[in-house]
Amino acid sequence: MGKTRDLFKKIRDSKGIFHAKMGLIKDRNGMDLTEAEDIKKRWQEYTEELYKKDLHDPDNHDGVITDLEPDILECEVKWALESITTNKASGGDGIPVELFQILKDDAVKVLHSICQQIWKTQQWPQDWKRSVFIPIPKKGNAKECSNCRTIVLISHASRVMLKILQARLQQYVNRELPDVQAGFRKGRGTRDQIANIRWIMERAREFQKSIYFCFIDYAKAFDCVDHNKLWKILKEMGIPDHLICLLRNLYAGQEATVRTGHGTTDWFPIGKGVHQGCILSPCLFDLYAEYIMRNAGLEEIKIAGKNINNLRHADDTTLIAESEEELKSLLMKVKVESEKVGLKLNTQKTRIMVSSPITSWVIDGETVETVSDFILGGSQITADGDCSHEIKRRLLLGRKVMTNLDSIFKSRDITLRTKVRLVKAMVFPVVMYGCESWTVKKAERQRIDAFELWCGRRLLRVPWTARRFNQSILKEISPGISLEGMRLKLKLQYFGHLMRRVDSLERL
């Protein structure tokens, strides 16, 4: 495993791809900052303002619950410790998870004692409430603080307790969340939402209906969760008081620092938001989003006997309607309910898509753009439901990856077998992403076969002018399954996955 990790690291380094690094940033007035202290102060100013608590809703919680859930078992601690991924950055205490895993039973006994004390007193160590934020640049100008995602590093010791708490919460989360929510749920993912969208469009075309989609984007959704509203939502959804009290006391008195290229900032309080990187954040946000959709009281459309009006992957929400007026009504209801709990729609990134042409909308003075295609979960969805555009796009992305690896494929020090394995590990998955829901015609199959042949000739350094049969090239680099065969295999595997899952939307 270690050698494989080192291999892929060297490959990434040799590809020469530009990775945005945190360096100079702008102040709130748009002026470049160059001094280390100014940069640190700006990051602290930005994050403090981002996570500043709203004063209009004070927390009146008394702090302790006497009706406790069943005690934590040693086997739960052992499971949680073993399930934590290795080779991950440590939190503020600097202790790697590998240290606990090497100590084995001794570490389990000590951590069990600490977790059990927290479980009974509902009071967390202050060190476990401290987080280190790492700014990761997203798209756009990396000098703008708002174009960075703040990933949190937390203590690995606290992750053990958080994993146990997450496992205790999971039964209630599964009970409350509907099938349309696929974000951070076992057995569900982006490919399910991509398949659902394509399936709905096919059904609409079959019954000659127009389907209207609105792809909602929230501004800093995870960072804007109101803690007091979150506890009320958990209470309404039947989460035990003991678990809510543990969560409330975990979030009370939280502190954070930002690690920059010029050192770390001073510690500052966290008043709102669920951290991106924390184990509990996904399920807490899913429940928060579910509360919004329930309160919106959305009207549903019936497709194959199933009432559907939205599809969700965490904060990525897709509204579905049969008319323009109905979609506008859905969007306004969601907007109003979202603002009640502190989430704001980012109208600049929210998009409308429909098979028939419509003009752009104006919502509260801001224009919502109408598009003919949209990237959902990494896959291109077009208004006409045709998959050929996405297949062409995937093949182009595969060519780009193949070209970036050209220096490795030219090396005479690497065996052909290793090169073939690299192509299957790094190129083919890029091409085959989302292929489970593709509708492939003869022309697309030919394009896929041609791409595989292009990869083979590039690996063997065989020019197109060389008099060599295509089958001999494919047989040399891929004696087993072809790329088209891989696509069919993935499709069958996904079919089995859907058939084994109860109440799957895709089975209708």
Q: For the segment 102-146, what is each residue's pLDDT rounded down to a tens digit? A: 888 899 999 999 999 999 999 999 989 888 898 888 877 778 888
Cα–Cα distance measured from residue 128 to residue 354, given in angstroms and rounded to the nearest whole number? 48
318 in Cβ contact with 311 (< 8 Å): yes
Cα–Cα distance measured from residue 162 to residue 246, given in angstroms and rounded to the nearest whole number? 10
From residue 19, alpha-carbon distances to 16, 57, 400, 408 in Å are: 9, 41, 16, 20
The winner for highest mean pLDDT among 2-11, 17-26, 59-68, 182-191 is 182-191
Helix runs in 92-218, H state only: 97-103, 105-121, 156-176, 190-206
Would you say residue 169 has pLDDT above 60? yes
pTM higher than the cut 0.75: yes
Nearest Cα to Cα of residue 180 among 289, 54, 67, 310: 310
The torsion region of residue 259 among left (phi > 0), alpha (psi -120 to 50) and beta comes to beta
At 361, the pLDDT band (50, 70, 90 cuts) reads: confident
Say what the pLDDT of residue 55 is: 61
Cα–Cα distance measured from residue 239 to residue 488, given in angstroms and rounded to the nearest whole number? 43
Pairing of strands 212-216, 316-321: antiparallel
Q: For the segment 364-393, what is each residue's pLDDT rounded down to a tens digit? A: 778 888 998 999 989 999 998 899 999 999
Residue ranges covered by each domain of the chain:
20-177+228-271, 190-220+287-382, 388-507
Per DSSP, the three-state class of 30 is coil
Would you say residue 299 has pLDDT above 60? no
How many Cα atoms occupy the beta-carbon half-sphere of 60 within 13 Å? Answer: 3
Q: Please work out, in degrees rounded to the nearest 5, the angle formed at the alpha carbon of residue 302 by the alpha carbons of 301 and 308.
A: 60
Domain 190-220+287-382 has CATH 1.10.3210: no
Q: For the segment 11-51, what is each residue's pLDDT rounded down to a tens digit? A: 777 665 555 556 678 888 888 888 888 888 999 999 988 88
Cα–Cα distance measured from residue 39 to residue 374, given in angstroms and rounded to the nearest whole number? 36
Cα–Cα distance measured from residue 26 to residue 312, given in angstroms and rounded to the nearest whole number? 34
At 484, the pLDDT band (50, 70, 90 cuts) reads: very high
Handedness of CA 102, 106, 112, 118 (dihedral sign): negative
Q: Please work out, in degrees rounded to the nearest 5, the angle formed at the alpha carbon of residue 219 by the alpha carbons of 148 and 60.
A: 105
